């Protein structure tokens, strides 16, 4: 027997005279105590198996608050073990406090007695009846409407007073202890009544009143900011939560934050895009009139569970768009400017880690690749912990101008050098629109994410190239355990790669072999403190010099071989040979 059938059987057995009529169980309300000239209300139970509110009961006379089977069993004195949905391991929510003896219960009765026709018409203007106002025990103090905030023990210690003509004019009344944020839940007792079922959460007491008029259970907070008082622990035993707040970006952000904490049980109700800012349920009720119920029902049907996953539709559109963009392209990734390297890697994408001995030219190689990609209007962030801003910029100008650093800094250069410098500076200035150099050693993954978001927004691009020089000099929380720190950074790079569409160039050190030399064998074991490199790198490369590092630069041509040591999608092996064009600080692919 499924849950809905158990609920039907439970109510039919325990409500005297109950009869099933379609998707409702109806009977004379057993809780009503009418006067001699009044009739008892009708107790109705929703048992539609497709409804989130299946099992919810309420009286047409509103003699007692509605609820779900566990609450019904409690007020009927039925043993909990016999109620559908009972959890023997459930630990009830209890506030860690002693409630004071004095309360506002008697004063509220005086405020209720001051309610007159004009005050009820104020609520009728947005479709809320006198029966709902009386059920919620709303009163009037002579100038302000008084909304009582009852606690779980059934007593009221604080109330919010609102001027009818100007709702921003408001103040709290009662025990100051209960003005605090932790107690700002209007109709908080509804949470226990909805255990094992569903309910609404909204902002503003009046918005909740419109839902109560329709017969929906729910709670409200005074404002969007007060949603933070709701915790997963307090709402742990509610199966489905519908959230609807005013139509504003701030409200959407706050509701998503709460939904993230509460998880998959939350369903967010969205407003149509054409509605004005701050539109809410009160305004919808005014505008729709008798069609308000239908409008809310449609919003419920269209609501979607707050999910940590992308929707199937979005996933489908995403992959189709990628495939369309890749049609006819020779490379799956971005071009770095070196044809053989592009061909060997199928373009630049993913995490590309390059190792090599000290002074092999790793930094110089990535300086050239990254600045050339920036010249092609690919946004680049270069995180440098090795060379310094002046070195990187000067070497880039030398390469662009085909001049030495000494010639770049000449006080009175000749006309030819001047032209080269002017041309290089023009290219360099344009390149800097897409190139950001970061030397801050306080870098962390969150800062990196924000900087990537910024440059993508600034350049209107949906991808970024990130250079890290070098992996072993990234800031670590625990300097004594660099291996763990490297692995942690690699994990973050994987997430950033996937979530923000980033391609990484990462400089790594190599381990020394026997006798303190560097192995000529280009494999993953050559990387220093390799840790998770073999798992994280989409492409692991090694740049090996074919010249003596101790020889003077002027006496020998500096050539290096780039090896692809390991790759997820490409064949390992020799990529190409590169010669350093000194003193221009640029590599030439042989």
Q: What is the mean pLDDT of residues 324-330?
A: 69
Residue 264 has pLDDT above 70, yes or no: yes
Q: What is the mean pLDDT of residues 279-302?
A: 95
Q: How far separated are the first and last CA of the chain, in Å rounded?
A: 75
Domain boundaries, the chain: 3-82, 105-305, 339-589
Q: What is the mean pLDDT of residues 557-586?
A: 89
pLDDT digits (tens, 9 = 90+) for 378-390: 999 999 998 999 9
Nearest to 69 by CA among 200, 197, 201: 197
DSSP label at 226?
G
Report d(CA 143, CA 123) in Å as an integer. Answer: 15
Q: Specify the length of the chain in residues.
A: 590
Q: Residue 516 corresponds to which tokens in the numbers above?
A: 């303190």
Residue 132 has pLDDT above 50, yes or no: yes
Radius of gyration of the chain (CA): 35
β-strand partners of 541: 354, 564
What is the reported pLDDT for 361? Answer: 87
Reported as a pLDDT band with limits 50, 70 and 90, residue 436 is: very high
Q: Does domain 105-305 have CATH number 3.40.1360.10?
A: yes
What is the reported pLDDT for 365? Answer: 92
Percent of the chain with pLDDT over 90: 62
Residue 472 has pLDDT above 50, yes or no: yes
Residue 137 has pLDDT above 60, yes or no: yes
Reported as a pLDDT band with limits 50, 70 and 90, residue 554 is: very low
SS3 per-residue string spanning 332-366: CCECCCCHHHHHHHCCECCEEEEEECCCCCHHHHH
- Please report the DSSP string for 151-202 in residue order: -TTS-EEEEEEEETTEEEEEEEEE-GGGGSGGG--BTTTHHHHTTTSEEEEE
User: Does the reported pTM lie above 0.85?
Assistant: no
Q: Any idea of the CA torsion for 43, 48, 51, 54, to the nearest 10 degrees?
A: 50
pLDDT digits (tens, 9 = 90+) for 78-113: 999 999 999 888 888 888 889 999 999 999 999 999
Report d(CA 474, CA 444) in Å as an integer. Answer: 9
What is the reported pLDDT for 309? Answer: 66
DSSP label at 554?
G
What is the reported pLDDT for 332? Answer: 76
Q: Please, is 116 exposed, middle or buried when counting C-beta atoms within 10 Å of its C-beta (0-12, 13-18, 19+)? A: exposed
Residue 146 has pLDDT above 80, yes or no: yes
Q: What is the mean pLDDT of residues 259-287?
A: 92
Residue 135 has pLDDT above 80, yes or no: yes
Nearest to 266 by CA among 45, 52, 2: 52
Element (H, E) at 391: helix 389-401
pLDDT digits (tens, 9 = 90+) for 484-494: 888 888 889 99
Report d(CA 230, CA 349) in Å as an integer. Answer: 43
What is the reported pLDDT for 400? Answer: 93
Which carries the bigger pLDDT value, residue 429 or residue 476? 429
> What integer best gives the mean pLDDT of the chain?
89
Reported as a pLDDT band with limits 50, 70 and 90, residue 557 is: confident
Percent of the chain with pLDDT over 70: 92
DSSP label at 307?
-
Q: 265-297: string of b/e by CB count within 10 Å (b at 16+)?
A: bbbbbebeeeeeeebbbbbbbeeeeeebeebbe
Q: What is the mean pLDDT of residues 557-561?
A: 84
Could you count the other beta carbons within 10 Å of the beta carbon of residue 323?
A: 9
- Residues whose CB is less than 8 angstroms from the CB of residue 452 and which lie 6 or more positions away in sequence, other chains included: 381, 464, 466, 496, 500, 502
- Highest mean pLDDT pick, 303-317, 353-367, 541-555: 353-367
Residue 273 has pLDDT above 70, yes or no: yes
Nearest to 10 by CA among 66, 62, 90, 85: 85
What is the reported pLDDT for 441? Answer: 85
Q: What is the mean pLDDT of residues 429-449?
A: 91
Answer whether 83's CB lies under 8 Å from 76's CB.
no
Reported as a pLDDT band with limits 50, 70 and 90, residue 511 is: confident
Q: What is the mean pLDDT of residues 441-453?
A: 91
pLDDT digits (tens, 9 = 90+) for 147-187: 999 999 999 999 999 999 888 899 999 999 999 999 999 99
Nearest to 38 by CA among 53, 52, 47, 28: 28
Question: 33-47, 313-327, 416-430, 558-572: lowest mean pLDDT where?
Answer: 313-327
Residue 296 has pLDDT above 50, yes or no: yes
Q: What is the mean pLDDT of residues 44-61?
A: 93
Question: 282-286, 372-376, 441-445: lowest mean pLDDT where?
Answer: 441-445
Nearest to 351 by CA among 544, 567, 565: 567
Could you count the other beta carbons within 10 Å of the beta carbon of residue 117?
A: 9
The CATH number assigned to the domain with range 339-589 reads 3.40.50.300
Q: Which CATH architecture has domain 3-82?
A: Alpha-Beta Complex (3.90)
Answer whether 167's CB lies under 8 Å from 158's CB.
no
Q: Is 577 left (phi over 0), alpha (psi -120 to 50) or beta?
A: beta
pLDDT digits (tens, 9 = 90+) for 65-76: 999 999 999 999
What is the reported pLDDT for 532? Answer: 67
Element (H, E) at 268: strand 266-268
- Residues whose CB is less than 8 angstroms from the CB of residue 92 and which lie 6 or more positions away in sequence, other chains included: none
What is the reported pLDDT for 180? Answer: 93
Helices of type H across 15-116: 69-76, 105-113
What is the reported pLDDT for 141? Answer: 95
């Amino acid at each position: 027997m499924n849950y809905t059938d158990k609920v039907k059987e439970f109510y039919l057995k325990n409500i005297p005279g109950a009869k099933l009529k379609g998707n409702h169980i109806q009977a004379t309300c057993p809780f009503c105590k009418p006067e001699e000239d009044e009739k008892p209300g009708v107790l109705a139970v929703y048992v539609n198996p497709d409804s989130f509110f299946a099992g919810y009961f309420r009286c047409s006379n509103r003699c007692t608050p509605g609820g779900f089977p566990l609450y019904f069993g409690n007020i009927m004195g039925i043993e909990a073990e016999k109620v559908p949905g009972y959890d023997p391991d459930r630990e009830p929510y209890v506030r860690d406090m002693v409630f004071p003896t004095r309360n506002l219960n008697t004063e509220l009765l005086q405020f209720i007695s001051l309610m007159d026709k004009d005050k009820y018409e104020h609520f009728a203007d947005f479709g809320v009846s006198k029966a709902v106002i009386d059920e919620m025990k709303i009163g009037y103090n002579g100038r302000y409407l008084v909304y009582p905030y009852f606690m779980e023990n059934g007593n009221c210690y604080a109330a919010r007073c609102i001027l009818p003509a100007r709702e921003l004019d408001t103040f709290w009344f009662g025990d100051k202890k209960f003005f605090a944020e932790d107690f700002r839940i209007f109709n908080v007792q509804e949470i226990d009544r909805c255990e094992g079922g569903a309910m609404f959460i909204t902002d503003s007491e009046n918005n909740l009143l419109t839902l109560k008029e329709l017969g929906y259970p729910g709670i409200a907070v005074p404002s969007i900011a007060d949603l933070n008082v709701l915790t997963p622990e307090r709402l742990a035993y509610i199966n489905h939560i519908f959230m609807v707040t005013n139509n504003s970006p701030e409200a959407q952000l706050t509701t998503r934050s709460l939904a993230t904490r509460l998880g998959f049980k939350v369903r967010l109700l969205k407003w149509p895009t054409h509605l004005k800012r701050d539109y809410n349920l009160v305004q919808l009720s005014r505008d729709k009139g008798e069609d308000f119920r239908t409008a809310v029902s449609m919003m419920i049907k269209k609501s979607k569970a707050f999910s940590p996953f992308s929707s199937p539709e979005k996933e489908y559109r995403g992959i189709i768009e990628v495939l369309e963009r890749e049609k006819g392209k020779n490379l799956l990734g971005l071009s770095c400017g070196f044809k053989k390297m592009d061909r060997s890697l199928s373009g630049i994408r993913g995490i590309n880690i390059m190792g090599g001995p000290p002074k092999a030219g790793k930094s110089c190689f990535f300086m050239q690749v990254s600045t050339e990609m920036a010249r092609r209007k690919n946004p680049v962030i270069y995180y440098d912990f090795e060379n310094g801003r002046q070195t990187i910029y000067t070497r880039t100008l030398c390469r662009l101008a085909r001049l030495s650093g000494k010639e770049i800094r000449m006080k009175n250069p000749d006309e030819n050098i001047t032209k080269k410098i002017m041309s290089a500076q023009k290219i360099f200035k344009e390149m800097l629109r897409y190139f950001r150099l970061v030397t801050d050693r306080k870098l962390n993954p969150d800062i990196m994410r924000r900087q990537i978001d910024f440059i993508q927004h600034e350049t209107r691009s949906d991808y970024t190239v990130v250079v890290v020089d070098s992996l072993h000099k990234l800031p670590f929380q625990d300097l004594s355990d660099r291996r763990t720190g490297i692995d942690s950074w690699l994990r973050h790079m994987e997430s950033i790669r996937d979530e923000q569409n980033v391609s990484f160039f990462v400089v790594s050190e190599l381990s020394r072999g026997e006798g303190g030399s560097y192995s000529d064998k280009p494999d993953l074991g050559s990387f220093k403190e390799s840790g998770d490199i073999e798992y994280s790198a989409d492409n692991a490369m090694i740049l090996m010099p074919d010249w003596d590092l101790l020889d003077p630069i002027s006496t020998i041509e500096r050539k290096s071989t780039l090896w692809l040591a390991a790759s997820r999608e490409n064949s390992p092996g020799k990529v190409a040979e590169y010669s350093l064009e000194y003193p221009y600080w640029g590599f030439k692919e042989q």
